[in-house]
Every structure is written in structure tokens, then in C-alpha cells.
Amino acid sequence: MRLLRRFIVFAFLLFETFAFKEYLLKTCGESGFCNRNRHYANNIKNSKNIYYNLDPKSINYDSKLNLLTASVIKTIPGQEFEVFEDDEQTSFQTTKTDDKFIELPITINFLKDIGVRFTLNEKRDISLDNINIDYLNYNRYNETSNWAFDSKILSDNDINLSFTHTFDKKKNNLKIIPNNDKSIEIVIHLKDSFTIDVYYNSQLALTINDKLLLNIEHFRSEEENQLNLVPEESSFGSFEDVFQYSKDDTLPIGPESVALDVTIHGSNDVYGLPEHADSLRLKDTSDTEPYRLYNVDVFEYTLMSKMPMYGAIPLMISNHDNKFWSGIFWNNPADTWIDIKYGNKETSTHWISEAGIIDIVLMFSDMPNQITKKFTTLTGNPTLPLLSSIGYHQCRWNYNDEIDVLTVNAEMDRNQIPYDFIWLDLEYTDDRKYFTWKPNSFSNPKRLLKNLQKFGRQLVVLIDPHIKDGYEISDKLRENDVAVKDHNNNPYTGICWPGKSLWIDSFSKIGSSIWNSFFKKFLYKSVNNLFIWNDMNEPSVFDGPETSAPKDVLYDGGFEGRSVHNVYGMTLHESTYDSLKEFYSEYDKRPFVLTRAFYAGSQRTSAVWTGDNVATWDYLKVSIPMVLSNNIVGYPFIGADIAGFSGDPEEELVVRWYQAGVWYPFFRAHAHIDSKRREPYLFKEPIKSIIRDVIQLRYKLLPTLYTLFQESSIDGSPIMSPMIFNKPQYKEFVDVDDQFYMGNSGILVKPVTEKGIENIDMLFAPGVYYNFYTLESFVIKGDKIESKSIVAPFNKLPFFIEGGNILTLRENMRRSSILMHNDPYTLLVAPDKNGNANGSIYIDDGVTFAYEKGTYLKSSFKLIDGNKMVGEVDHLCEDIKSLGNVEIREIKIANTELKKKFKDYLVVKQDGEEYKVKVDVEDDKYVRIMNPRIKLNNKWEILF
């Protein structure tokens, strides 16, 4: 028996190691609730029958809460059936059951600086007669917002704006307008059907339930199921799951899906809904599978696919004919499918979730990045990471022992390849028991950490949510009753890396504090450079249905996984983050946590990566739209494994992947245990130097990148930003997803993602563009987008700075970012055609939370009409010393024409002083102001 079990475990491990099989996942047709809702949609299209109405008498406005409540009534028409009158069954009578009415409470409110929120729940009769499992929570899960929304939103009493509602008896509609924001107007139609029109600046933007696809599968018993269906519905998979890998699902509550359609007017371009290995602009799904959001483990995932992946952010961003933008946030963490149909100047969307409530927030703006901003106002701004964590990360499954780690560390230095983080995957543990170290290989972790700290480096180790059964940690889960439960309310066990495992229930407050106590024992007080990687937290279960936990597992409060699945990963990484934050509180150090699974809100506490990709050109290519997609939904700290997790990449691919990956906000190389070693220094020349140059470039650009991270941390703005987000006025950019800007820095990039290519076609909007390396420029005249062929040599990927911008650089090369703390800055000025340029820099200590109390410097600088440069201090703090060196060592202005205006010296005015500085022209390409002795914490001016 034991042998057989071992064999099964081994077989599953093999499965994990060898490739993801798409057939393990359901198609919509195989998924009960998706199948039923598509079926319903097809039938309603023809019948146009109406089953949902808002009862006008139920409308109530609570002026204290600024909340409108009402009841939507679902009517199930009575059904006729025949009853035999005699025993011989010769005559019968036709009888009819009564109509059934289901009450669905609706709420409407306006959230300040965000948009309008609708919720629709079900008033369930869960009196004891109707339920038979006492530990199961029969209510619809209504707590997602507690996880997804920012704590500030949850605690802000003034978040709900007051609004006026007027009932028009004649038209039978209800008009709702917020009192302080006239840009939104809502009209709820009560006659004939229940539809909601949402106007933005008087234009019809969205219609809810336009196609009558609203469907709330209300609570009923299996025996009475038939009587609870309307003719357009089917009962496929309502009480049993027929999919071969999830047949054991007990479906204790029966059908309980929620679905709704939203028509997006004037739009043929919608984006968002990560995570999918697909194009940035979402595709029409009429003849294919819908996009699915269900966190699962998809080793070597399929490309250009709508299948689910590790994370889920149900935010769709729509471009209304390049005139304005909207966002639809479907806040539901259950298994969710979304159909998209592009029509004539409108897009129909159909949202289908297996359980929970309808909770949608609609947002509008003239600019796309404002939708992201509104979304992160709601779900929290992205974390401001440790400055070191935006440097280079060297990872591999696995670095085998302390000597191995220190050898990599030394080799990186010997080869002058800067890096900040080194990682330990699974095998550093003692027999895959998390919170332990493999005794002989890592006999003295503190010594290792101290050693790395000398070089300013950090170590990340993997801790997953599955806990091997039968050691101290799993005993604690059992003792404290904080393991995820199976449908019988016993600790759920399944197979993952360590074999038979339990899962921590991080939904539970007690679970979370137990998790925290594990870290207290595991981390070291005297060193603070140990951080955590939460992997496999979808959760991944090797012997579970669709690679994950069964949907009928139970979490805190008796809720099924069915209702909360996509939030689980976030509860885990948030709990890890809180543990680290508390543990390192005496250092006030920002934690670093990497997660694989995510939901809306994950951006507040963690970085993420795109999971198990493959070392092929196609995976390199898809990484760009994947990273862009997360960036537009407010989760910018993301990257893909460089140069492909599994397989052995050819040298050309390695180089091109580093050249693309240097722009990922999270810049990490990682490799599968079966792949050959490929640390950058192992390559022969010239490959090694090319990679070294790329990594050094990242370090050179750290001041610009860190400033982008800081901006994103206050407004959610994308760091890797799609063309259409930066230049929404150009239709040509609507589906460009292989070229991008770095935030608003003016850096414009198109990585090479094809083999054997040394030329790329790039699109440029009107303006001036400078090659970063040579500072040679060209001008795009007129008002049209132009395509230009660009030489993209293997040894140096070109990228451009758009005229009008000033980059900040640190040009001294060091071994790690921390060692650059006292290095001065360079300003690289790229003037626009009128000789103007703008830039700014954010500087803090890069490590602590002192910035939250104002210990940071923000300066901006301008080139004005090619006549002078000025610097302003936008925010200053007392403890300027903690920010390191804040001096400008050099200013490079990419315009030699300027030279005509001055001789060899320029006059600098700063802090009441006036002095001359030397100026030069380099290579006929740029003017160079050497050692201007300018301090960024002063106001300054240079006159030409």
C-alpha cells in the first residue's frame, strides 16, 4: 500500500516536472455553471423573456450612509403539469404551480474619486429545514471587498458620496446623479426590463443587463430543482460535476452562479483581465472559449490562450473610441468566465461566476491611466519596494548549498555583474519541510546571511502554503485548527512537493497569527536580509482537480473554496508580508515577498512573476503583453523568468531575453532544476559582456526606475506602459503590445523577440527621439504616426528617449544597489523641438518606511526654451543624510546647438551662490556640463 502511494506521489511529481496538460482544465462546455450560463444566453437572445425586475416600492435611500437599497425580484413562472385522476391513469388534470419570487437585495453607492458600485445579493432562506450540513456556510460569500479593497477605503466614513435619485413615474425609471460629480449619471429602467444605463459626460457609456443575461441561480434543493428553472435554463452539472477530473465535487449548495452582461458603447478595444498568456487587447470569444479566471498551476502554459493561470484580476479597461475610457471591476473571486463579443461600435461582455454575489465597480475617465489610478485608489496602491529589489535577482532551482551560493556571489563580483538578490528554491529545506534548512547543505544560515549582507545583498527563500504532514509545523496547524478543511470538515490533505500535505488557512485570523509565529522562529533578528517567496499558492495540489484544491474544501467561516478560491493566494502572501514587517520592525525595513497567485489588491504587498514559462522565443514574446496587462491593472511589480524557466535557451535567446527583461519591473533570472546552469558569468565572450552590459544598464537607470516605482506607489501608474496608455489619442496604438514606454520617463522600447533579427520596425508619434547610447536624434514631423526601421544589433538593443524628458542616472558601477547609495547622479536631458524638457527624481533611503513620515526628497528640473535649466525642490526632509549622495555630478544635454550660446563656461546659481562650471561638447552629440556641484535638495538655475 505504502509502495503504491509512493508511486502515485512520484507520478504526480513527474507530472509537475513535465508539462502542463490542457485537458486537465475544464472547457466552458464541461463546466456546469459556465455551460448553463452560455446556454441561458443563447436562449434568452431569442425569447427575450424578462425574469428580473426592480420593485419601485422597495427603493430606499439612506442619507447617512449615502447608500441606495432596493429589491430586485426574480420571478419563476409557475409550471403546468398533469396529475392523473384515477389509478388506471386514464384521465388527468392539468395543474399549475404558483409563480415563485426570489428577493435579490441591490445596493448602489458612489465611491469618492473612484466610481459607482452596485452589489446584488440573494436573500436566502437558510432556516434549519433547508440545510443539512451544519459546518457549511450557506450564505453567499460577501466579504471579498474586505480583502480586495484598500484598508483606507474600508475605514473611510466619507468615501460614499451623496447623490440625488429621482423616480420618473411616466418613464418608469430612476435617475441617479452624484451631488459633487456631474460626470456620471445613472438611469435604471424599471419598465419591461431591469437594465441600467451609465452615462459619462452625457454619453451613454455602459449598459448593464442590456442583453438580459442577468442570472442569479437562487438557492434550492435538488428535489425542487426543476420547479426553480425558467424555460431558458438548463440544469447541466447543477448537483454533480461530470468533468472527469473533478467528479468528486460534492456541490453541497447546488447551482449558485451569478452572471451579468455589460454592453460597452462606442468601444471595440478592451484590455485587462490578467492573467492570460495572450495579447494585450482582449480577443472576441464568440467562437472560442471565454477568458477564464481561476487560479491554477499551469507549468509550461499554453500560449495565446484564454485558459486560466496563476492569478486573477477581474478588471476590464475599455477604450471608447479614443474619446474616453471605462473600467469594469467584477469583484468576485470564484471561478469566473468572461465572454467578449466585438460588435458594430459596441462590445458585449458576459461575466459568469460560479458563486458569491455580484459586486461591480464602474470607473470612467478621459485618460486610460486614470482608470488604473481609480482602481488602485479602490484596491490599494502598489507597494514601494526596497530599492534593492528593483535591481537584478539571480535565482535557480536550486543553489545547492552554502558554498554554491557564495560561489555564485563571488563569480558575479569577479565578472563585474551587479546583483542584489540571490534566491533559494525548494531544495534548501530539510526534506521539503518549510521553515527548516537542509542540515548539511545549509548548516549555518545566519553565517550565509551575514556573508551576503557584507556585499549589501539579500537572500530570498521559498515557503509554500502546503505543509508536509507529520512535523512540528503541520502539528501546529492541526492543534490550532487552522488547516484548510475537506468537505467533511476534517483537515484537507493532498499531494504537493513534500508528499502528503496540509494547507494553512490564511483566511483565518488565527491561521494568520500562527503563520506569523512560524516566521518568528525561522527568521534571524541579527540579520535582516532574508525574504520570502510564496509559490504554489493558487493553491497548487498535484492530485487535486484542475491542478488545485477541490472546490468543496472549506475555509474560515465555513465558506467553500468555490466561493473564495482566487483570493486564497493573496491571503497567504499578505500574511507573509505582515509577518516580515512585524519581524523586521526594529529595522523599520520594507518586506520583500514574491507571490505566484494573486487577486486584486495583491499589488499592495508583493511582487509577482509570470510563472513557469519555457526557454523559447514565443514565451519571450508573450511575456511583454503579459507584463503590460498586469501594469495597467495596477500591479506593476511583475516580470517573467529570464531566459525561460524550463529548457536550455540558445545563446541568442538568452541575450535577447535579458535585453527585454531589463525593462520588466521585476528583473529576475530563474531556471528549472533540469536545465543547465546559466548564470550570466558562465557564458563565453562576447555573450557574457553583452549580458553584463544589460544588467549594468539596469543599475545605471535605477534612479529613473525608482522614481517610476514611487509615482506608481501613489497613483498606480504603469511602469511598463502600453503605447495606447501613453498616447491614447492615436488609434494606431490600440493593439500594439510589443513596444512600450517606461512610465512617463520618455524611455521608449521595442525588444527583439525573434530569432536572427537585427532590424525592427518601430512606431513613433510626432516628436523628437534620441538613441540612448549615441544620443543621435531624429524628428517625426506632422501629426501622424510613422513606422521606422531601427537597427537592433545583437550586442546592443537600441532604445529611445522621447524629446521633452530628462532621465536621472547613476553611472558608477558597483556590485549592488546598496553600494551605490553615496554615488552622485547624472541628468540626461532630451529636449523637444522647442528646447524644452522636464524630469524629476524621488530619493529616499531605499530601505525603510521613513518615507511614510516624509523622509524623502522629490526634485524636479526643467530645460526651458533651450535658454536655461532650473531645478526645484518639491519635497524636502530634515534627515537628508539618510538619502545618501544627492549631488548632480554631470548634466548631459542632447543638443549641440546650445553650444553656440555659450563659451566654455556656464553660470550656476544655487543656494545664494553663483559660480562658473566647465562645459564641453562630446562627439558632436551632446553638451556636457561637468561637476556643476548642484545639490538636489537646493533650488538651482543654470543660465546659458
Which chain residues interact with ligand NOJ by CB under 6 A? 397, 425-426, 462, 535, 596, 611-612, 645, 670
**Residue 560 CB contacts under 8 Å (≥ 6 apart), including other chains:** 136, 137, 252, 253, 355, 551, 552, 553, 554
- Cβ–Cβ under 8 Å, residues 21 and 551: no
Cα(27)–Cα(601) distance, integer angstroms: 28
176 strand-pairing partners:
165, 186
| Residue 280: HSE in the Cβ half-sphere, 13 Å Cα cutoff | 27
Catalytic residue among 535, 552, 711, 802: 535
Amino acid at 357: I
402 is an active site residue? no
Nearer to ligand NOJ, 308 or 611 (CB): 611
SS3 readout for 400-419: CCHHHHHHHHHHHHHCCCCC
Helical (H) or strand (E) element with 146: helix 144-148
Please, what is the minimum distance in Å from the beta carbon of residue 655 to ligand NOJ? Answer: 22
Which one, 426 or 553, has the nearer CB to ligand NOJ?
A: 426
Give catalytic status of residue 852 as yes or no: no
Q: Which is nearer to ligand NOJ, 665 or 839 (CB)?
A: 665
Q: Give the CA diameter of the chain.
A: 116
Instruction: Pick the closer one to ligand NOJ by CB: 485 or 670.
Output: 670
* 612 catalytically annotated: yes
CB of 383 to ligand NOJ, least distance (A): 21
CB of 713 to ligand NOJ, least distance (A): 26
Out of 217, 538, 560, 832, the active site residue is 538
Strand partners for 826? 809, 890
The conformational region for residue 583 under phi > 0 = left, psi -120 to 50 = alpha, else beta, is: alpha
Q: Is the sign of the CA dihedral 383, 389, 392, 395 positive or negative?
A: negative
CB closer to ligand NOJ out of 339 and 612:
612
* Spatial separation of the C-alpha atoms in residues 335 and 313, rounded to whole Å: 12
Nearest partner of 325 among 357, 382, 363, 290, judged by Cα? 363
Instruction: Please report how close the Cβ of residue 395 comes to ligand NOJ at its closest, in angstroms.
Output: 8
Structure-block grid coordinates of residue 342:
466585438
Shortest spacing between CB 821 and ligand NOJ, in angstroms: 31
Q: How far is the CB of 550 from ligand NOJ (least distance, A)?
A: 21
Residue closer to ligand NOJ, measured from CB, 358 or 607: 607
The three three-digit cell numbers of residue 528, written as one number: 535582516
Q: What distance in Å separates the CA atoms of residue 892 and residue 837, rounded to the nearest whole number?
A: 12
Q: How far apart are CA 276 and CA 309, in angstroms?
A: 6
The answer to whether the beta carbons of residues 473 and 435 sit under 8 Å apart is yes
R_g of the chain computed on alpha carbons: 29
Question: Considering only CA atoms, which of 811, 806, 776, 809 is closest in space to residue 791?
Answer: 776
> Is 136 or 426 the residue whose CB approaches ligand NOJ more closely?
426
β partners of residue 842: 858
Cβ 611 to ligand NOJ, closest distance in Å?
A: 5
Min dist CB 315 to ligand NOJ, Å, is 24
Q: Report the residue number, 243 or 619, with the smaller CB distance to ligand NOJ.
A: 619
Helix (H, G, I), strand (E, B) or coil at 48: coil
Identify which of residues 638 and 893 has a Cβ nearer to ligand NOJ in the complex.
638
Which listed residue (297, 505, 612, 711) is catalytic? 612
Q: How far is the CB of 183 from ligand NOJ (least distance, A)?
A: 43
**Which is nearer to ligand NOJ, 644 or 884 (by Cβ)?**
644
Mapped onto helix, strand or coil, the DSSP state of residue 716 is: coil
- Minimum separation from the CB atom of position 612 to ligand NOJ (A): 5
Angle between the 687-700 and 702-715 helix axes, to the nearest 10 degrees? 50
How far is it, in rounded angstroms, from Cα 939 to Cα 776?
30
Residues marked active site are found at: 535, 538, 612
